[in-house]
Structure 1
Amino acid sequence: MQWIKLYESEASAKAEIPLTKAVTVVVAGQELCLAHTRAGLFAVNNACPHLGDSLSRGTTNYLNEIICPWHSYRFNLASGEECRGRTTPLKRYPLESREDGLYVGLD
């Protein structure tokens, strides 16, 4: 697994990404969605597996889900599963907070 630094710290990532929001980050040519919820930060594939819309344009909810802005499919950020099992799960990427920054792990 390759670890790539995204932010100088977890705190700086949380300061840049408002609670309940998500942003797109491009890492090693891959477009990821970095979401901020009350449970923390999560990295998933940015393309909704249903029809490919950008999940970072959506929002998160109190159930720790990201909601696709196109058809309102809801994905659990911890498991990647869609709440009703209507499509394939999201690809998830591990995040690691280190002394020198916040890193994402890529296969």
Structure 2
Amino acid sequence: MGDYVRVAGTADVKPGHAIVAEVNGKTLAVFNVDGTFHAIDNTCVHRGGPLGEGDVEGNVVTCPWHGWQFNVTTGECLKNPAAKVEVYPVKVEGDDITVLA
């Protein structure tokens, strides 16, 4: 298994928002849900929309292209339970957000 990679500082991701980060060749969306950070694949499984650019409400992100919604803590799609995006482990080390991808 790989190492955790720093993707941002905790102050860089405001509550209710996301950033997009590259980790080991993967594009991830990193979310702040009430001070807890979560990382999922940035690509919507429906049509490839950028989830990191979607609106976030609670622990749900809405894809800006076609409105598919995903739980950022589990990767599950609310519209189609069979569809899922990859979830990546996140650790906060001091003021650094790190992701294992």
Calculate the TM-score normalised by the size of structure 2.
Answer: 0.86
- Asked whether the equivalents of residues 92 and 98 of structure 2 are also in contact (C-alpha less than 8 Å), the reply is yes
Q: Residue 69 and residue 104 in structure 1: after superposition, are their counterparts in 2 closer, same or farther (change >3 A)?
A: same
- The alpha-carbon deviation at position 68 of structure 1 amounts to 0.5
Q: Which runs of 5+ in 1 are unaligned?
A: none
Question: RMSD across aligned C-alpha pairs, in angstroms?
Answer: 2.0
1:24 equivalenced with 2:20 (yes/no): yes
Out of 16, 37, 61, which is 1:41 matched to? 37
Which of residues 48, 53, 69 in structure 1 aligns to 2:64?
Answer: 69
Partner of 1:4: 4
User: Contact 2:43–2:51 (CA<8 Å) still a contact in 1?
Assistant: yes
Aligned pair count?
A: 101
Contact kept? 1:35, 1:43, Cα under 8 Å = yes
5+ residue gaps in structure 2? none
Q: Deviations over 1:34-74 (max 9, x none)?
A: 11112611100010011001111112102x11110111111
4+ aligned runs moved over 4 Å, structure 1: none
